[in-house]
Amino acid sequence: MNEPKIMLVDDEPDILDLLEKALKIEGYHNITKIENGNSAVTACREIQPDMIILDVMLPDLDGYEVCRQIREFSHCPVLFLSAKNDELDKILGLAVGGDDYVTKPFSPKEVAYRVKAALRRTQYGQAPIGNFSMQIGELMIDADGCRVRKRDREIGLTAREFEILRYLAENLGRVISRERLYETIWGEDSFGCDNTVMVHIRHLREKLEENPAAPQYIITLKGLGYKLVNPYEK
């Protein structure tokens, strides 16, 4: 297996060097450092990284716009770094396609851990996803290939979105609470998880459902959580 490619985007060289050092300690050496948003978008097209750590406050394009543009052609995990600790900023980061959000000042070890966790959820982890594929209505979920198809059309999902869908599929027809979903997928305590989970579920519905406002696959049970169902077996 090739070593994962990690792209660091921050306009502060000291932070880039700090992150690079922390990642190298964890065994990641294929690292590209970028100092502005426009260059990040161009480099992402050329390098096709497996993971991006992206600062929100950049001198040209801000991190949110960089992520929006990257999501037009890449679904690799994106971890935002930001000096802002406001809940709305975190929601915005998730809304534009981010997978994780860490506020400054941060622990380099924590960021390296989150990178390792994100890569583990994709094809570079030590723990394999396992053999799992399922046809649910018009959806084909292929865990080995980390792909989802609907009517022979491949649907591009971020790493978090795919893991949420896979987990719901493994528990087809069962109600999964937001707290359990967050603790399982994010691997963290579920305190304050509601908005994070809701944003990702909304993104999944926008990609999977014919009418996201009237979902047929991912159903909400008010006060209880979500469940994935086969709309043809109701």
DSSP string, 45-71: HHH--SEEEEES--SSS-HHHHHHHHT
**Contact between residue 122 and residue 157 where contact means Cβ atoms under 8 Å apart:** no
Question: Among 153-162, 186-195, 224-233, which is the least confidently predicted range?
Answer: 186-195
pLDDT at position 147 over 50: yes
pLDDT (tens digit, 9 = 90+) per residue, 3-45? 899 999 999 999 999 999 999 988 999 999 999 999 999 999 9
pLDDT at position 218 over 50: yes
pTM of the model: 0.66
Q: What is the pLDDT of residue 106?
A: 87
pLDDT at position 195 over 70: yes
**Contact between residue 110 and residue 102 where contact means Cβ atoms under 8 Å apart:** yes
Top mean-pLDDT range of 12-16, 98-102, 131-135: 12-16
User: Which burial class, exposed, middle or buried, applies to 210 when counting CB atoms under 10 A from its CB (0-12, 13-18, 19+)?
Assistant: exposed
Query: Model confidence at 127, in pLDDT bands (50, 70, 90)?
Result: very low
Q: What is the pLDDT of residue 192?
A: 61
Give dist(CA 25, CA 112) in Å, integer. Answer: 9
The CB density around residue 64, as the number of other CB atoms within 10 Å, is 21
Q: What is the pLDDT of residue 129?
A: 40
Report the residue count for the chain. Answer: 234
For range 178-201, the mean pLDDT: 80
Query: 76 is written with which tokens?
Result: 């690799």
For range 143-151, the mean pLDDT: 81
Portion of the chain with pLDDT greater than 90, in percent: 47
Query: Model confidence at 191, in pLDDT bands (50, 70, 90)?
Result: low
Asked if the bond preceding 105 is cis, omega within 30° of 0, the reply is yes
Q: What is the pLDDT of residue 130?
A: 47
Average pLDDT, the chain: 87
pLDDT at position 125 over 50: no
| Dihedrals phi, psi of 111, to nearest 5 degrees | -60, -45
Q: What is the pLDDT of residue 45?
A: 94
- Of 181, 162, 8, 148, the C-alpha closest to 97 is 162
For range 62-82, the mean pLDDT: 92
Give dist(CA 89, CA 79) in Å, integer. Answer: 13
Q: What is the pLDDT of residue 123?
A: 58
**Contact between residue 49 and residue 7 where contact means Cβ atoms under 8 Å apart:** yes
Q: What is the pLDDT of residue 176?
A: 92
Give dist(CA 221, CA 227) in Å, integer. Answer: 8
Give dist(CA 141, CA 134) in Å, integer. Answer: 5
**Contact between residue 75 and residue 157 where contact means Cβ atoms under 8 Å apart:** yes
pLDDT at position 101 over 60: yes
Query: Model confidence at 62, in pLDDT bands (50, 70, 90)?
Result: very high
**Contact between residue 33 and residue 63 where contact means Cβ atoms under 8 Å apart:** no
Give dist(CA 49, CA 44) in Å, integer. Answer: 6
